[in-house]
Amino acid sequence: MMEACPGEDWRVVPNLPEATAYINGKLVTLNVVVVGTSIYAGILVGIGLYRPRYRNHHAFVRLLIYGDGANTLFLPIISYLLSLDASMDSVLRPDPGFLQLTSYYIERSLLTELLLIWACLIQLLQTVGISNAATVAADDREAGRNTGLPVAPLLQTIWAAYVVLSQTYLSFHFYADVSELVLLGAFALMFARLVLKCFAFLMAQRSLALRLNPRLIVGYIKQLLQEEDSQSHGQPPQLIVMGEEREQVDEQPHGFYLKRLMMMMPRPSSQQEASMNKDNHLVTIDKIWQLEELEETSKDLCLSFALFKMLRCRFAGYTADETGYARAHDFIWQLLRSTSHDRLLGVITNELSFLHDFYFSSVPISYSKRCLPILSLLISLFTICYCLLVGIRVTYRYSYPDPGTDPDKYWSQLVIERDCRNGTTGGDSSSSSDFVFAGSSLYDLVPIFALLALVMLAEVREVASCICCNWGKVALICRQLYSNKQLLMLYPAVLRFRCNLLNPLEDKMRQCSIILPFYSRKHIITALHHLLIGKFTKNVKVPAAVKAAIVNALGSNNGQLSNGVGFLLQLQDHGGREFLWACIDGKATSDVILAWHIATSILEMKLVQGQQNANSSDNQIIAATHLSRYLAYVVKCWPELLPDDDKWSKRLYDDVSKDSMRVLAMARRGGDGGYKKVMELLTEKSEHEVVKNGVRLGRQLMELEDEAAAWRLLAGVWSEMILYVAPSENLSAHSDAIARGGELITVVWALLMHLGIYTRPSADANSVLSIIHV
């Protein structure tokens, strides 16, 4: 330990160990905050890049990751760190009231520079990869979905620029040449992106293709209905894909009318019609279908976009008749009967994906002007180049130190120098200096390079979004329609390119079971899953057998929905009528679902225990078990998507689950988990009527001579069941489902609407009996 300077008053100036301890304490605080904030930012960016829909998921996830405070958290952290850096030597400054023989000098210019660069990168990362709140230019009729001008991020960036740049000029030892350009470049990129976003929003507010589109679609449909010539049966309808922004419109009591079509009624002369067709810039589905050189997937994408516009009208409060669903009924029915189930459901999934983008992202406003996607792409490329240059700059500072630099000083965050003056005031004096190196520059360099990598990763995602975004693909197809159709052959790579990470909707279905293998609530991973997601469920890809079963059931019953009664009547020669009680005796839909779910689970237990052959009935088994567990999940987690009262359905599931778990606990304690023992205990010990009905139904299914027939019956009933429960007027519940990544029942709901099925028949016993006697 170094000795004190001779004659120094230690009540005024601390000794060197005390000074070093004080500085190290502040450095530890600074480093912990820098590293912790960088890790937190990395988590935010990682989740945002991998699954953007998580910000609309569970309430705890929104609070932890994308809460309102998360986007404003970094600004006070930056202010705190810069003030901490500026006050590093506050207690070591001499008191002018005392004569001091000891003075301290702290060399921290490099620390200040790196800290300012880190602050800029944090703010840049927030602008690029974290502050991704949706900016929506929605119509006033769309239940308050219009978000307004994104002013808050702009104001935050202005304040951050003031804090960082003011600290730059107050720091006396700051290298003000290249480093100033580094800081100014970061804020220039931030302001460019935010100003572009504000401009895009203002343009979208006036756009007939975005904010005002529902009013135009409704008016356009009314004009089509007034035409004398109706479209041929099953032909592609004249639904709008793009081109509205180039049309002149007239505001009418029931929407915006196209002036060009108004001039054609009554029927114009051939010369007038030719002139008006020349000015027709609308791209419609019938025109898309005439392009032989266009691939089927691209045509389907345009159809999804046109259907999305009609679906958006429903969310704007227009009725099904006003939105023009009838114009597409025959065409969608033809697709259902003539194409694969994957293609048909893919069209609907892409439609819901467009709806998700419009309500829960800022993608659509980027297409309010043709040049905006290109400008956004250029800003992303400039940002990537900027990050590379900053990385080179920081590397250069450490790769070429000044000649003769002490290695310890080279890798330290700051240097504490103590100067001991020997002598008195006014006389000759000599001095000696001591140096202490504090901290490690790795605490600054590693977070900086990590943030540079995160910013570039976020920008790469933006570039990929511009290239393979479905909005861009539709715009590319439509804009080449009237210019040069041969150019469509030059874009196969762009039109085919897909990135699953950018798809807002998952092709998955959650699975939940009442009596099949349980998730242990004592397991730490399961407990964490329950904390974050709140549901003990498993997420699986929707099997092709499930899609085929739903589409086939819809085609076979010609749109006549039932809760399984229709399919059982088709099997009346094979004992189907004997199972009608399971569809009729329930109080509502939820208890019928749970009774059939318990019966299906019992047969699945038998299958799992190897006492049943699965050979030829594999697809029926897959369809029945997956739909059974999925609808049980809907009853448990999202009963608002079902026709029954949601609170009643949740309470019913809880009661049934508790009753079955109590009985199954007896089976586990007895050491016999076989399905026969489970059925016996459920029959004897169960107190809930739904559980008893499920066991009765399961035993009745096992009595069938052909095991494959039992699974065929279950697959048919479950396929009809999901079709029966899907129609709904609860647009809010389906909107929430789309926000969290989509639900299979929402895909079926949208498909049924396009087929003209908006409601379900009554489920009361009299209605069902009337069907039976027909």
Please spell the DSSP secondary structure of 174-222, one letter per residue.
---SHHHHHHHHHHHHHHHHHHHHHHHHHHHHT-TTTTTHHHHHHHHHH
Please spell the DSSP secondary structure of 756-771, one letter per residue.
T--S----SHHHHHHH
Structure token digits, residue 645: 């009262």
Distance in angstroms (rounded) separating the CA atoms of residues 152 and 160: 12
Provide the residue type at 295 as one letter: E
Least confident of 33-42, 425-434, 534-543, 688-697: 425-434
Peptide bond into 266 cis (omega under 30): yes
Instruction: Using a pLDDT cut of 90, give the percent of the chain over it.
Output: 36
Binning pLDDT at 50, 70 and 90, where does residue 718 land?
very high
Provide the residue type at 463 as one letter: V
**pLDDT digit string (tens) for 269-315?**
554 444 445 556 789 999 999 888 788 888 999 999 999 999 999 99
Q: Are 329 and 320 in contact (CB under 8 A)?
A: no
- Stretch 540-545: mean pLDDT, rounded? 93
In this predicted structure, the answer to whether residue 387 has a pLDDT above a threshold of 80 is yes
Distance in angstroms (rounded) separating the CA atoms of residues 392 and 388: 6
Q: Which of 714, 737, 557 is nearest to 637 (CA)?
A: 737
Strands 538-541 and 508-511: antiparallel
In this predicted structure, the answer to whether residue 99 has a pLDDT above a threshold of 60 is no
Strands 508-511 and 249-252: unpaired
Beta bridge partner(s), residue 417: 105, 435
Q: Are 137 and 364 in contact (CB under 8 A)?
A: yes
Question: For tokens 């970094």, what's the residue?
Answer: 74
Write down the mean pLDDT value for the chain: 80
Q: CA torsion sign, 390 to 395 to 400 to 402?
A: positive
Measured CA angle at 471 (ends 469, 477), to 5 deg: 105
The number of C-alpha atoms within 13 Å of 278 and in the hemisphere containing its C-beta is 6
- Stretch 411-436: mean pLDDT, rounded? 61
**Helix, strand, or coil (residue 416):** strand
**pLDDT digit string (tens) for 449-476?**
999 999 999 999 888 888 888 998 898 8
Distance in angstroms (rounded) separating the CA atoms of residues 35 and 444: 8
In this predicted structure, the answer to whether residue 540 has a pLDDT above a threshold of 70 is yes
Is pLDDT larger for residue 411 or for residue 737?
Answer: 737
Binning pLDDT at 50, 70 and 90, where does residue 653 land?
very high
Q: Under 8 Å CB-to-CB from 10, ≥6 apart: which residues?
A: 4
Q: Under 8 Å CB-to-CB from 359, ≥6 apart: which residues?
A: 134, 136, 138, 145, 315, 735, 738, 739
Structure token digits, residue 687: 């107190």
pLDDT of residue 1: 40
In this predicted structure, the answer to whether residue 636 has a pLDDT above a threshold of 90 is yes
Least confident of 203-207, 343-347, 409-413, 710-714: 409-413
pLDDT of residue 131: 67
DSSP-assigned letter for residue 384: H
pLDDT of residue 617: 65
**pLDDT digit string (tens) for 133-187?**
778 888 888 877 888 888 888 888 898 898 888 877 655 444 456 777 888 899 9
Distance in angstroms (rounded) separating the CA atoms of residues 648 and 639: 9
The number of C-alpha atoms within 13 Å of 62 and in the hemisphere containing its C-beta is 11
Q: Under 8 Å CB-to-CB from 228, ≥6 apart: which residues?
A: 267
Is pLDDT larger for residue 50 or for residue 61?
Answer: 50
DSSP-assigned letter for residue 557: T
**Helix, strand, or coil (residue 629):** helix
Compute CA 725 distance to the chain's CA centroid, rounded to the nearest angstrom: 25
DSSP-assigned letter for residue 445: H
Characterize 23-37 residue by residue with b for buried, 16 or more Cβ atoms within 10 angstroms of its Cβ, and e for exposed.
beebbeebbeebeeb
Structure token digits, residue 288: 């898309």
In this predicted structure, the answer to whether residue 48 has a pLDDT above a threshold of 80 is no
In this predicted structure, the answer to whether residue 346 has a pLDDT above a threshold of 80 is yes
Least confident of 20-29, 120-129, 259-268, 509-518: 259-268
Question: For tokens 């901290």, what's the residue?
Answer: 439
Quickly count: other Cβ atoms within 10 Å of residue 277's Cβ.
10
> For the chain, first and last CA: distance in Å?
102
In this predicted structure, the answer to whether residue 402 has a pLDDT above a threshold of 50 is yes
**pLDDT digit string (tens) for 227-240?**
655 555 668 889 99
- Stretch 72-89: mean pLDDT, rounded? 79
In this predicted structure, the answer to whether residue 520 has a pLDDT above a threshold of 70 is no
Structure token digits, residue 98: 């005392």
Distance in angstroms (rounded) separating the CA atoms of residues 633 and 535: 9
Q: Under 8 Å CB-to-CB from 402, ≥6 apart: which residues?
A: none
Quickly count: other Cβ atoms within 10 Å of residue 144's Cβ.
8
Please spell the DSSP secondary structure of 302-367, one letter per residue.
HHHHHHHHHHHHHHTT--HHHHTTHHHHHHHHHHHHHS-HHHHHHHHHHHHHHHHHHHHSSTGGGG
Task: Indicate the helix (H) or strand (E) that contains 436.
Answer: strand 430-438
In this predicted structure, the answer to whether residue 93 has a pLDDT above a threshold of 80 is no
Binning pLDDT at 50, 70 and 90, where does residue 495 land?
low
pLDDT of residue 499: 67
pLDDT of residue 226: 76
Measured CA angle at 762 (ends 756, 763), to 5 deg: 125
Residue 96 phi, psi dihedral angles, 5° rounding: -65, -15
pLDDT of residue 90: 60
Please spell the DSSP secondary structure of 584-652, one letter per residue.
HSSSSHHHHHHHHHHHHHHHHHHHHTT-S--GGGHHHHHHHHHHHHHHHHHHHH-GGGSSS-HHHHHHH
The torsion region of residue 131 among left (phi > 0), alpha (psi -120 to 50) and beta comes to beta
Residue 251 phi, psi dihedral angles, 5° rounding: -75, 125
Q: Are 473 and 298 in contact (CB under 8 A)?
A: yes
pLDDT of residue 694: 94
pLDDT of residue 774: 45
- Stretch 660-685: mean pLDDT, rounded? 80
How far CA 705 is from CA of 79, 574, 709, 711, 718, in Å, comes to 76, 11, 8, 12, 21
Q: Are 437 and 412 in contact (CB under 8 A)?
A: yes
Question: For tokens 């590319």, what's the residue?
Answer: 476
**pLDDT digit string (tens) for 564-599?**
998 998 887 667 789 999 998 878 999 999 999 999
pLDDT of residue 7: 44
Distance in angstroms (rounded) separating the CA atoms of residues 74 and 294: 48
In this predicted structure, the answer to whether residue 673 has a pLDDT above a threshold of 50 is yes
pLDDT of residue 423: 47
How far CA 627 is from CA of 8, 545, 612, 718, in Å, comes to 84, 10, 20, 6
Q: Are 413 and 443 in contact (CB under 8 A)?
A: yes
Structure token digits, residue 489: 């052959």
Helices 296-315 + 470-479 axis angle, to 10 = 110
Whole-prediction pTM:
0.85
Structure token digits, residue 603: 């047969």
Instruction: Using a pLDDT cut of 70, give the percent of the chain over it.
Output: 75
Helices 109-125 + 442-468 axis angle, to 10 = 20
With residues binned 3-state (H G I as helix, E B as strand, rest as coil), the percentages for the chain, rounded to 5, are: 65, 5, 30
Provide the residue type at 415 as one letter: V
Please spell the DSSP secondary structure of 492-503, one letter per residue.
HHHHH---GGG-
Q: Would you mind telling me the total number of residues written for the chain in this entry?
A: 774
Question: Residue 756 burial by CB count (10 A; 0-12/13-18/19+): exposed, middle or buried?
Answer: middle
Distance in angstroms (rounded) separating the CA atoms of residues 222 and 770: 38
Distance in angstroms (rounded) separating the CA atoms of residues 584 and 572: 16
